[in-house]
Amino acid sequence: MPVSTTDIQTALKQMRHIDLSEMKAIKLMNRIDTKYIANRRQLLQILTLALNDYRAQNIDKEIISKYDTIYFDTADVAMYQRHHDRRLQRQKIRTRKYVTSDIAFVEIKNKTNKGHTQKVRTAIGNDAWHDFRTDTAAAQFVASRTQYDVATLLPQVRTRFDRITLVNNAKTERLTIDMNLTFDNYTTRQTVSLNELIIIELKQDSQADSPMKRILRDLRIFPAKISKYCIGTALTNPDVRSNRFKIKIRKIEKLTQHRLTVTKATN
């Protein structure tokens, strides 16, 4: 029987909760991220096993939050190409709307050659979410922190998903679980939905062991390098080089037992 979002919500309600004010103390802005991919059935197993060691974030009585993100890149998708070509030092520039909280940011994620992720961001108005360059202060913020000419950056891929956030009892790590992913490409006008895919990201200041690492290992869910922007681009833009990501796409198909299809976007 398919696992529904209601099934997942029921499992989350069994966990202790943590509110947004407590979450502010767990920023982990300079961190090591470890990603995993799973399916909905495995997610239910994870939540059951994590019941005593983790708390679920609760925002205005909502334990599943909606996110809306736009990734910016050059016309020749230079940031995507650096990732595809396995360049260790990489950057992503995006605007993100936290739909549940009705707030938005422009964010810059830098990946160092040592595997660390450093994120900086500044708040923007919702009217600047579609294009941060309409906000002078936001454009200056990005220009001072990137090697790319801000004038050349264009909206490339919009990513919408639902997110669950878990925090360990010691408040030393955060786990984000993304589901119901949809990718819309601004260039090709194509869209892909991956409703069965679960992307898990464990965020820590170090590679120390954790209850979640043990849970995932016991379930035979192993680290998997995956970028929502890159997978979304590879699936919705047939003109970009995507050889490196084809094996990963086949793995997603096998995991979700769903053949990925591309259709025309409606917005």
Question: Rounded mean pLDDT of 174-187?
Answer: 95
pLDDT at 114 over 80: no
For the four alpha carbons of 124, 130, 134 and 140, in that order, the dihedral sign comes to: positive
**Could you tell me which residues are beta bridge partners of residue 168?**
54
- The full 3-state SS of the chain, as one line of letters, equals CCCCHHHHHHHHHCCCEEEHHHHCCCCCCEEEEEEEEEEHHHHHHHHHHCCCCEEEEEECCECCEEEEEEEEECCCCHHHHHHHCCCCCEEEEEEEEECCCCEEEEEEEEECCCCCEEEEEEEECHHHCCCHHHCHHHHHHHHCCCCCCHHHCEEEEEEEEEEEEEEECCCCEEEEEEEEEEEEECCCCEEEEECCEEEEEEEECCCCCCHHHHHHHHCCCCCCCCCHHHHHHHHHCCCCCCHHHHHHHHHHHHHHCCCCCCEECCC
pLDDT at 203 over 60: yes
Question: Rounded mean pLDDT of 216-241?
Answer: 94
- pLDDT tens profile 24-80: 776 655 567 899 999 999 999 999 999 999 999 998 888 999 999 999 999 999 999
Counting every residue written for the chain, the total comes to 267
Question: What's the rounded Cα separation, in Å, for the pair 266 and 131?
Answer: 20
Question: What's the rounded Cα separation, in Å, for the pair 105 and 261?
Answer: 31
Question: What's the rounded Cα separation, in Å, for the pair 104 and 67?
Answer: 10
pTM above 0.85, yes or no: yes
pLDDT of residue 88: 78
- The answer to whether the CB of 260 falls within 8 A of the CB of 192 is yes
pLDDT at 224 over 50: yes
Question: What's the rounded Cα separation, in Å, for the pair 245 and 126?
Answer: 33
Structure tokens at 78: 């230079």
- pLDDT tens profile 118-138: 889 999 998 999 999 999 999
- Averaged pLDDT of the chain: 90
pLDDT at 267 over 50: no
Question: What's the rounded Cα separation, in Å, for the pair 64 and 98?
Answer: 11
- The answer to whether the CB of 84 falls within 8 A of the CB of 245 is yes
Question: What's the rounded Cα separation, in Å, for the pair 249 and 88?
Answer: 21
